[in-house]
Structure formats: C-alpha cells, structure tokens
Structure 1
Amino acid sequence: MATIKVLDTELELDLLDADELEKVDAALQAVEGDAQQDPALSQADNMRKQVGAVRKAFDTIFGEGTGLRVMGEKNHLGVALTAFAQLTDAVQTQRAEFERSISSIKAKYSPNRAQRRAAAKK
C-alpha cells in the first residue's frame, strides 16, 4: 500500500489489491465517458459535469466524500484537472513499479535457456 498526495490530501492506494485495481480502472474509464462535452449544455454546465466526474472518481476509489475533501466545494475545472492528473500519475507510477517487480522476479527465477542446454550437455 502506498500513500499518494493529491492536492495536499494524502490518500492510500494499493494497486496490488485486485479489488482496488478494479475500482481504479472502472473509475478512470467512467471519467472518460462522463467528462465528454455535451453540446446541449452551456459551457458552465459542461464544466460542472466534468468536475463532478472527477469528484465521483475519487469517491469511487477512496470512499464517499473524498472528491469533496480533495477538491473542495468549488466547481473549478483547473483544480479538478490537476487532481485527476496527479491521480493518474500515481496510478501509472504504481503500475510501472509493479511491472518492474514482476520483470525482476521473472529474471531471477526463470533460468536462461542457454544455461539449461549447457547443463544438459554435461
């Protein structure tokens, strides 16, 4: 489990937990769909919709009320975009660390084919 910091708020994120990873993936995909511009709405309403989508993602991943705690009560798109960018950066960092760990373990415990052949010839 790792502590991440999003807009001065510390949150716990553990992508090695399959249930948490599933929530994160679903929440990030939902933001993509929910944050799309709706031509029927005014620019201000579209901004509110986008901020709401980011808040909802934080609530889905970290629990109800987290979006409000992280981003405050204003519907400020800049704050929402910064928070979302920091969240996605943290997710990508954890995924990269996981991949490096897996590669390291594979390299350590997977014997080299050439070494196996040499050992078989002896």
Structure 2
Amino acid sequence: MIINNVELEDIDILDADIAEKYEDALSVVDNISEKVKDMGISQSIRTQCTAIFDVFNTLFGEGTDKKVFGDKSNLLICLKAFEELVIVTNSQREDVVKFANKYSPNRASRRTKK
C-alpha cells in the first residue's frame, strides 16, 4: 500500500491479530479531540500527529512514522495519511460484507421466490 507516497507492506485487516492491533492503535486516536481542545495550536498539532505516528508504528513497526512523515509534524499530512489507511482497511471490510451478503439467508429466500 502507498501512504504519503511511501510504500508500506499491505495490511490484512481480516487477520485477527492484525485487526486487534488496528483496534488498539485506533483507540489512541478515538478521543484525541477531547485531549487537545484546551491546548494551544502547536501543542495540539504535535499531540494529534504523535497519535497518528503511534498508529503507523503499531501497525507497521517502529520507525514507520519517520519513513512516512519524516521529521515534520504537519497535521494535514498526518490526517491525509491516516485517511488513506482507513480507506484501505474499510475497503477490505466492505469486501467481506459483500461476500457474506451473497450467502445471507434473506438472499437465499428471495431467490427461491423467483
């Protein structure tokens, strides 16, 4: 997968161990807006970027943040990279839902009615 023009290994969100790491990593980002609401701009940016750096390091190994973001803490770049990661993982989930829907009981009963 390509994130911020850097090639990273593909992530298999459908593997239970990877999914667990992904959930743990995202929990750090979940309440970040509450954490930063009373901070100054620069501290807020660093805090949010650090949370995103931690997500990438958790999923792809230590040092991935430096590979993807360099030494900068640019909030827009961090948010776009995080969005790219979420899009990839959501796409994998959608594939499973489509597959499961092919064989859902509702579809089977609709087919017998035709």
Instruction: Give TM-score, length-normalised by structure 2.
Output: 0.82
Tell me how far apart the structure 1 counterparts of residues 12 and 88 of structure 2 sit (CA, whole Å): 10
Change (3 A) 1:88 1:114: closer
The CA RMSD measured in Å over matched residues stands at 2.3
Correspondent of 1:7 among 4, 7, 12: 4
Greater relative contact order structure (CA < 8 Å, 6+ sep): 2
Change (3 A) 1:114 1:30: same
Tell me how far apart the structure 2 counterparts of residues 14 and 55 of structure 1 sit (CA, whole Å): 19
Q: CA deviation at 1:8?
A: 1.2
5+ residue gaps in structure 1?
116-122
Work out the number of aligned pairs and report it: 109
Q: CA deviation at 1:61?
A: 1.0
Cα deviation digits, residues 91-121 of structure 1 (max 9, x gap): 11111012112223x25xx964985xxxxxx
* 2:95 maps to 1:97: yes
Residue identity in the other structure for 1:56: D
Q: CA deviation at 1:16?
A: 1.9
Tell me how far apart the structure 1 counterparts of residues 90 and 72 of structure 2 sit (CA, whole Å): 27
Change (3 A) 1:29 1:114: same
Residue identity in the other structure for 2:25: A
Partner of 2:36: 37
SS at match of 2:71: coil
Correspondent of 2:79 among 78, 81, 86: 81
Identity %: 31
Task: Flag as ranges the 4+ runs of structure 1 deviating above 4 A.
Answer: 110-115
Change (3 A) 1:89 1:44: same
